[in-house]
Structure 1
Amino acid sequence: MPAKKKKAALPAIETLDQFHATVDQIAQLEVSLRGAAAIRDSAIQKVQEQYDGPIEDKKARMKSLVDLAGTYATAHKETVFGSKLRSASTALATFGLREGNESLKTLKSKTTWETILQGLKAIGKYIRTVEEVDKQALLDAKLTDAEYAELGLRVDKAERFYVVAKSADANRISTELEPTA
């Protein structure tokens, strides 16, 4: 990846003609950028098509072999790891058993989290209640500025300048890449 270039100081826009010329230059750059990105994306897609099949085949084969070896290792922990170890090695690999994160599961398939919640309510512990402002509902309410102010709020809507190249004129703009020094 090329090193980042320092941003050159641009002269200030002083007239409407200079502004329009700047906007047109932005449009030309946008179309050129789209063309360059399309060329790059096409090349990437060709390489991906060439290698995706073999890569996916290798991933599937590895997963099958890991599952097979894991089944054996789990069933024969003492033989594979010894009495105190959770990992071991061969000439080409280190292998072992990792503990995952703790999680809770219901004891029986007929036990639901709702029945567990009811039991915990009786105890009065281990129940979480989350309260938060429903910002979207407040925006949807379309209150007046004064009503929002009474709540300690204001509606903020950022205004951002944009330039979009006209697609109809895109064919007259060069998509050639300029060589980098």
Structure 2
Amino acid sequence: MAIRTENLKMAGKLVVVITAMSAFGYALGPLYKHICEVTGINILSLSERQVPGGGSAGADVKVNTQVDTSRTITVEFDANARGPWEFKPAVNSVQVHPGELATVMYEFRNVQDHRMSAQAIPSYAPHQAAAHFNKLECFCFQQYTLEPGEKKQWPVAFVIDPKLSKDVKTITLSYTFFEVGGKTPAAPTAALAGRAEPRS
């Protein structure tokens, strides 16, 4: 009888814990939204031109006031493959406003006959853009293992800080992808030397 009583008490406690966890999970979305509104952090809000299909996000979606629509910056994407594999951006360039969230995909395929682990090293031109190029998501943050012939796509989500000098109108983001375990290459600064000066 004592064991049954203890089991019932334990079951009751588990029901309370599960109910509390479910309520907390359900409240996370509204809570996160409220925190963003209070703190003014709103970089993930969609403007009308970011909505898939080009339509409006609706009247209840707030416009991101941190976006400087008076400026447009061209971001060019470069990929350097230091080995027998395929590595390239899905697009060569995009145009963004400072403060605007943008996402670009990079494609990678292991064309070797063995498994490989690899990682990317990013670099920027002009050099001063690095401090203002904020990556929210990037495959360069970790190593990846790919099987022979395996193909992957990885996103780079970024926001350019509006504090970037107004003289900078073009930024080149370059990645060098190398196999882990071999010699780590230097960032491709030499390849970008001709593009180091801001364009007018």
- TM norm structure 1: 0.26
* Structure with a larger share of its residues in strand: 2
State the structure with bigger RCO (CA 8 A, min sep 6), 1 or 2.
1
* Structure with a larger share of its residues in helix: 1
- TM norm structure 2: 0.25
